[in-house]
Structure 1
Amino acid sequence: MRKNKLLQLFMPLAVVVLLLGGCSTTNSRSVKSAGDPVASQTKANKKTQSAISSLDSELTEKRKEITDLKAKLAKTQPAASESSTSAAATTASDLANLDYTGQQEIIVNKNNPAFTDADLSTAKGAWATYSDLDGQNRVTDANALLNKSLMPTAKREPLTWNPTGWHNKKTAHGWLYNRSHLIGYQLTGENNNPKNLMTGTQTLNTPLMLAHEMDIAYYLKQSTSHYVRYEVKPIFRGNELVAR
């Protein structure tokens, strides 16, 4: 009888313990399940923040590029305006009447040299011609279809020919005048040719003319199939002996 009472007492206790154990397991799973969305959201937030940082960096770089381009545009606009104004002078007489205003280069004829198809033909290969001196012994015109085949291999000899207007003077910055080739020696090998030499200021000869000649020489050296149609025509005002 006593044994039966003890069994009856333990059975409810066991049920209570089992119920409590079940509750404990259920609560643990519930907490774990509740934690997964938070972890996922945290991971997603970090990814979003990383993307935002990357876009911010790209935006900063683009803004800098825009600022640099605006600054470059601001510098080139005045020069373009000056060039377009000066380019109105297209004939020899128009150019001869221009006075120096601090700008050493201008665009002529909207940068269209007006060469014909015959002028540009490479059928006969490279060539160079130099027009006769005028009545005052001034150079008149030099034309060429430049190619690597015309470029000299020998070292240039000293210049001995004095072109018209040659009265030199040395200044603090060097010689005032240079003997200037219409077509540079490195392009055709013509050196002491009276038809290819004129009196030019030092800044005309170098760096201005030399810079263009170096660009052309570099292009020609890249391939024997490269050609450049080239013409140089000095402009004189009236009977002046030094070209404008």
Structure 2
Amino acid sequence: MKNRIIVIYLLLVLSCLCTGCVEINVSNPSDIVTEKDETNTETFVPEGINSENWFESIPAYRGTPYIEVNNDIPFFTAEDKKKNDAFEIYSDLDELGRCHVAYANICEEIMPVEDREASLNSVTPTGWHQNQYNGKWLYNRCHLIGYQLAGENANEKNLITGTRSFNVEGMLPFENTVADYIDDNPSNHVLYRVTPVYKEENDLVAYGVLMEAWSVEDNGYGCQFCVFVYNVQQGIEIDYATGENCEATEEISKVDSAQTKKGNTYILNTNSKKFHTQDCSSGKRIGDKNKDNYTGNRDDLISQGYTPAECCNP
């Protein structure tokens, strides 16, 4: 009797396989294609940003890679902050070939699943006059929306001429902040907008970018910033009208040297022994019990046992 039951069971399984009632579905993440917003046909102008309201208050570069704008509160409208759908919008190049606003709702759906491989050399952004100083190239092809956030690589609408410092010390820490937030909250979205700022109407190289972020589902609590990042390289003088560059004059070098000697002001977490930039939103949320301020040389602070906070990379 027992053997008969086993035979009947095997016949039922075989019948299911033959009639297709058992389905095996194996998905490869690299085969998943996400639809991107390709509807923009003209330069996208973000609401709520008026250069007269904020850019005139930006001080000249004095050694720090970025400065907080609008009390670190992005200029997104109330309607913007309700968006929880995935999208990417890249402004068309203007008549000079320059990039303008790049705007996206960052989420797992549009983030790349593979490491970047393709070269950026096929794109030559405006003002690209490359030179080496002390054995290092001055310029990078800088993504407005970083590859790790949206998977856009050699997109001419998303690449500007930027210095090595601008790219690595200025923009990258904020890109990492957004990426880390999505990694920790894979179902959430971060409104993210990067606006190149040209000091003069026909400048080919941006003086810097306004970077804004707002985590949608938690109303900005988990990820929020609004900063202006300077497109500069210490010791190098850049003609933003053309992109031409040279070693800074003695007078400019003295300003850079004085700032370096003076040091910067940092926010300390005396409990975790981490230090943050003065404008870091995470640093500002440290409780009074564990919070302290320090003005001085970064290396001296590290020698005292403190380490740079990864969220702002001071």
TM class, shorter-chain normalised?
0.5 to 0.7
8 A Cα contact 1:131 1:195, kept in partner:
yes
Q: Distance in 2 between matches of 1:236 and 1:205?
A: 17
Q: How big is each residue's C-alpha offset from its partner over 1:168-207, in whole Å with a ceiling of 9 and x where there is no partner?
A: 1112152101000000001001111111000001000002
| Structure 2 stretches lacking a partner, 5+ long | 1-49, 208-314
| Structure 1 stretches lacking a partner, 5+ long | 1-88
Q: Distance in 1 between matches of 2:55 and 2:87?
A: 30
Q: Distance in 1 between matches of 2:206 and 2:157?
A: 14
Of 160, 182, 187, the match for 1:225: 187
* Deviation of the 1:137 alpha carbon: 0.8
**Does 2:72 correspond to 1:111?**
yes
**Does 2:90 correspond to 1:130?**
yes
**Aligned to 1:150, what secondary structure does the other structure show?**
coil
Alpha carbon RMSD of aligned pairs, Å? 2.2
Of 170, 179, 201, the match for 2:163: 201
The aligned counterpart of 2:151 is 189
- Once the two structures are overlaid, the 10-residue window that deviates more, 102-111 or 198-207, is 102-111
Q: How big is each residue's C-alpha offset from its partner over 1:96-120, in whole Å with a ceiling of 9 and x where there is no partner?
A: 9853332321111222212122212
AA at the equivalent of 2:88: A
Structure 1 pair 161/243, CA: closer, same or farther in 2 (3 Å)? same
Written as runs of structure 1 = structure 2, the 5 A alignment for 1:173-188 is 174-188=136-150
Larger radius of gyration: 1
Of 144, 150, 153, the match for 2:113: 153
Q: How many residues align?
A: 155
**Does 2:82 correspond to 1:121?**
yes
The aligned counterpart of 2:221 is none
- Bigger helix share: 1
8 A Cα contact 2:148 2:179, kept in partner:
yes
8 A Cα contact 1:96 1:236, kept in partner:
no
8 A Cα contact 1:96 1:235, kept in partner:
no
8 A Cα contact 1:151 1:189, kept in partner:
yes
| Length-normalised TM-score, structure 1 | 0.58
* Deviation of the 1:132 alpha carbon: 1.2
Identity %: 41
Runs of 4+ more than 6 Å apart: none
| Length-normalised TM-score, structure 2 | 0.46
* Deviation of the 1:154 alpha carbon: 2.6
